[in-house]
Copies of this chain bind each other. A is one copy, B any other.
């Protein structure tokens, strides 16, 4: 997979898709945190919120890796988690889109 080449046009499509997925995931996370905070009635709920944020931070910081060498995998993961649709990857070569779609089904 390492030898995959990205044209400048494809890089733009991929970067925009990554940003779109990130914005969606963050918006959902903000809604979740607000909701969890409203429901806090005891100390355990606070520490559960803390654990939740620790996990999310680790996950999000690791996931949005913009290096082109791993972008196929990153986009596949985002597709699998439904932060992106395959339609939003229009503009990538057919071959790349097929690889991304296949990985997303794994």
Contact = CB atoms under 8 A, between A and B. Distances in A.
A38 B53 CA distance: 16
Contact of A40 (B34, B43, B47): B34
Nearest to A50: B53
Copies in the complex: 2
A62 to B, nearest CB: 14
Given A30-B40, A33-B40, A34-B37, A57 B49 contact: no
A33 B46 contact: yes
B57 A53 contact: no
A4 to B, nearest CB: 29
Interface of A: 26, 29-30, 33-34, 36-38, 40-43, 46-47, 49-50, 53-54, 57
